[in-house]
Amino acid sequence: MHINGSTTIVGVFGAPITHTASPAMHNAAFGALDMNWVYLAFHVEAANLRTALRGASHMGLVGINLTIPHKILALDGIDEIEPEARKLGAVNTVSMEKGKLRGYNTDGYGFIKAVKEDFNLSIKGKRVLVLGAGGAGHGIAVKCALDGAAKVIVANRTLARIEPIAREISGTKTEFLALKLAAEDIRKVIHEVDLVVNATSVGLEEQDSLGLGADLFSPRLHVYDTIYRPAETELLRVAESAGAKVANGLSMLLHQGAKSFEIWTKRKAPLAVMRRALRAAIYGEKP
């Protein structure tokens, strides 16, 4: 990588941000396509998001990804928000175009691509159980409805947090159900779903547990965990022991990043290069 006065800058805002694997993925892509671009990580506190985005635009950056805690906050600080991002309730990609900030959500796209890639599963007509109603859960649940899921169930410890999701899905043909995130409630519905998605942060630490036993799972189930580090969470370990098909969030990270890349550069993302770079950065595999 050779940075000079003509280098185009993109990056990611978050707090914390030291864990991000996105620079490795994007910089590998720029290198593979011989582009004079660089992707950097910036620690930006929530209170400074709007100022930082405006500053980035004034400094000539052309794109920013947003991660925790900015995805929902950005809805109030962007000039133009793509309709799907508004429906999904979060912005994770911002492009700077002619002095204006335009917000997108590539997480929903990344999730749909990941499920197709990992399970060869189309969401259309499927019944999906989403664990968690935060930014990730909101986006995934609504995206499933927009893509024709027959039923979406959202389980969360606080039922009130599910209400905004219910409002968005009410305008679709998808059946919707809200329930408490507890083993006894999950047991009542899990037999009727095709796909279970963990969109909570439970699993980031080795001792984390959702409290769901192997008896809840079966070989007919697909279980996707949006967490990618560690590679195998307790949920995936338990589900796999019961014969369920499992996958972690690396593929979602890859595909949402590839979509962001294409929004900014107007070029096709080199997926194989980006995947190798991610696996090297996260799991220490040789690229």
Query: Averaged over 87-107, what is the pLDDT?
Result: 94
Tell me the CATH architecture of domain 8-105+251-283.
Answer: 3-Layer(aba) Sandwich (3.40)
pLDDT digits (tens, 9 = 90+) for 261-279: 999 999 999 999 999 999 9
What's the CATH superfamily of 108-248? NAD(P)-binding Rossmann-like Domain (3.40.50.720)
- Within 13 Å of residue 37, how many CA atoms lie on the same side as its CB? 24
Query: Averaged over 161-186, what is the pLDDT?
Result: 96
Can 71 be counted among the known catalytic residues? yes
- Looking at the chain, the domain(s) classified CATH 3.40.50.720 span 108-248
Q: List the strands of the sheet with 63-66, edge to edge.
A: 37-43, 8-14, 63-66, 93-97, 100-104, 80-81
pLDDT digits (tens, 9 = 90+) for 57-89: 999 999 999 998 999 899 998 999 999 999 999
pLDDT digits (tens, 9 = 90+) for 12-30: 999 999 989 999 999 999 9
| C-beta atoms surrounding 163 within 10 Å | 10
Q: Which of these is catalytic: 71, 87, 143, 259? A: 71
Give the H/E segment covering residue 183. helix 183-189
- Looking at the chain, the domain(s) classified CATH 3.40.50.10860 span 8-105+251-283
